[in-house]
Structure 1
Amino acid sequence: MNGLSDHVRAVEATLFAAEAPLSPAEIADYVGEHVDVAQALAELHAHYSGRGIELVERGKAWHFQTAPDLAHILRPEREESRRLSRAAVETLAIIAYHEPVTRAEIEAIRGVQISKGTLDVLMEAGWVRPAGRREVPGRPLTFATTATFLQHFGLSSRRDLPGIDDLKAAGLLDPIEAALEQMGGEQLELESADEED
């Protein structure tokens, strides 16, 4: 016996046999309302911490996954690498940070139109899903990220997305800011030259 109670073992078995991540309410449907699912999940999370597989929460649903440091062992020898276009990456970022968002809002933020294929690629990858219609004239479709998106990028929730300070610390915003500051400086020089004339 491994020291886990029957209730905890029932939750463990339910998650192990599930085809997809389960929310605590869905787990309770299997094991019964009398089981403290939150406590069982906490025990299992601690029990599997540091092992070859671990229990993780992604988008308020729980599942077992291979420990990230061992994932390379299970990958096939030949990986098919599919690079996203710049438009797809920008669109995915806008959806992740602003969801639920309409196609028109994505285009307004990007400043250019997006092709239908861009959203199709993101939906085919399982990272983006339709999220209902906005209650405005025309009832445009909105888009949001999925649990697969969170899982792929190792995020527990959208709150784990890097903020502006994180991006600056990683050096991802510095070139843009430097260019904008330089353009602003050049603009000021031009304006002062115009005033002198």
Structure 2
Amino acid sequence: MNEDNLRKIQAITEAALLAAGKPLSVDQLRDLFEEGERPARQIMEHVLVLLEQSCQGRGFELKKTASGYRLQVREEFAPWVGRLFEEKPQRYSRALLETLALVAYRQPITRGEIEDIRGVTVSSNIVRTLLEREWVRAVGHRDVPGRPAMYATTRQFLDYFNLEGLDQMPPLSEIRDLEEIGREIEKNMQAEIEFESPARNTGDDGDDSNPDNAPGQTLH
């Protein structure tokens, strides 16, 4: 394939990733082309390498996640990009981060098991938020009285936190406590806006987060 064709495929790929607002797989990118002009998988992967190289020194980058590739603002430019938005992203509650961290590291895990580890009741609002965001899902039921649901993380969780797989999360042995696990998970967010999660925790956990205004911006 000549250089002009490669440049055209690269431009089409860049345009598609800018418009999609979500990760696209190699096959999804190939399907943008008519059958007669569809690039081979090896060619498409080469084009993605070229696109990644072309992003060097620019304000955005090509990032691979569990679902595919996306163009996103580089993390170091988040403080400036964040000023474009009138409403500042609300903080994630410590309770939500701890719950999400336990699901990520101990999956599959039941709500009762999370409560046993944390020593407090897990708010229904937290479970609902995690399910609605599609960061966790029920993957079965524990074979004990009551058959409680077991929860695990999803592909959307990996995509949102810029992970290709769970093996990219910080080793549990390097984390001192659950709150720190939550902070480490959030470090993998695209174009992260720095914040501290609330440190207070009493009884039945409330959820003071607003994930629809979460830090980070995908280019679209």
Whether TM-score is above 0.5 comes out as yes
Higher mean Cα deviation, 39-48 or 156-165?
Answer: 156-165
Farther off after superposition, 46-55 or 104-113: 104-113
Distance 1:147 1:71 in 2: 22
Q: Which structure shows the bigger proportion of residues in helix conformation?
A: 1
Instruction: Specify the alignment match of 1:17 in structure 2.
Output: 19
**Quick one: which amino acid aligns to residue 9 of structure 1?**
A
Matched, 1:45 2:76: no
Do the aligned partners of 2:25 and 2:68 also contact (CA within 8 Å) in 1?
yes
Amino acid aligned to 1:161: M
Higher-Rg member (1/2) = 1
Counterpart contact for 1:96–1:144, Cα < 8 Å: yes
Letter in 2 for 1:68: E
Which one of the candidate residues 151, 154, 173 is aligned to 1:142?
151
- For the residue of structure 2 that corresponds to 1:75, the secondary structure is helix
State yes or no: 1:64 paired with 2:71: yes
TM-score, length of structure 1 as denominator length: 0.65
Shift of 1:123: 4.3
Contact 1:95–1:145 (Cα < 8 Å) also in 2:
no
Counterparts in 2 of 1:21 and 1:150: CA distance versus 1, 3 Å: closer
CA shift at 1:94, angstroms? 0.7
Partner Cα distance (1:70, 1:108) in 2? 40
Match of 1:85 among 81, 86, 93: 93
Moved more, 10-19 or 48-57: 10-19
CA distance in 2, matches of 1:46, 1:166: 32
RMSD across aligned positions (CA): 3.3
Distance, in Å, in 2 between the alignment partners of 1:167 and 1:6 is: 46
The TM-score normalised by the length of structure 2 is 0.60
Find the aligned partners of 2:163 and 2:46 in 1 and give their Cα distance.
22
- Counterpart among 30, 35, 40 of residue 34 in structure 1: 40
1:108-165 per-position Cα deviation (integer Å, ceiling 9, x unaligned):
44344312112223345x37232543585747253415546654x5545432222145
Letter in 1 for 2:98: E
Q: Which moved more, 1:89-98 or 1:159-168?
A: 159-168
2:62 counterpart letter in structure 1: L
Structure 2: distance between partners of 1:156 and 1:20: 14
Gap regions ≥5 residues in structure 1: 174-197
SS in 2 for 1:80: coil
Identity %: 29
What SS is found at the alignment partner of 1:13?
helix
Shift of 1:44: 0.9
TM superposition shift of 1:63:
0.8
- 1:119-158 maps to which residues of 2 (within 5 A)? 119-123=127-131, 126=133, 128-134=135-141, 138=147, 140=149, 142-145=151-154, 147=156, 151=160, 153=161, 155-158=163-166
Higher RCO (C-alpha under 8 Å, 6+ residues apart)? 2
